[in-house]
């Protein structure tokens, strides 16, 4: 997460906290609901940040369902 700045760092930390404390995979919508108190968060910002965290290998995510479907997110296993 070396390339994070200011509010993005706060958002990334909040997302990671929600995902890492969950005992089951979460949909994007559920993560958004858990972060509803974070100022200035939108679905677009949340999804973009989740995709970046996935690219950095900090969380795992998968698109499921036909058509529009949904993304589910879960924590990376600790070895």
Token output for 39: 């100022």
Q: pLDDT tens digit string along 3-54?
A: 555 556 889 999 999 999 999 999 999 999 999 988 889 999 999 999 999 9
- pTM as predicted: 0.84
What is the count of structural domains for the chain?
1
Closest C-alpha to 42, from 32, 57, 55: 32
Contacts of 45 (CB under 8 A, 6+ apart): 11
Whichever domain contains 59, its CATH number is 1.10.10.10
Write out the residue range of the structural domain in which residue 66 sits.
6-75
In a domain, residue 64? The reply is yes
In a domain, residue 1? The reply is no
In a domain, residue 20? The reply is yes
């Amino acid at each position: 997460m070396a390339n994070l700045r200011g509010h993005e760092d706060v958002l990334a930390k909040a997302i990671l906290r929600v995902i890492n404390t969950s005992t089951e995979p979460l949909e994007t919508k559920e993560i958004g609901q858990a972060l509803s108190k974070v100022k200035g968060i939108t679905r677009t910002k949340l999804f973009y940040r989740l995709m970046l965290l996935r690219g950095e290998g900090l969380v795992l995510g998968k698109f499921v369902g036909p058509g529009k479907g949904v993304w589910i997110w879960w924590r990376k296993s600790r070895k």
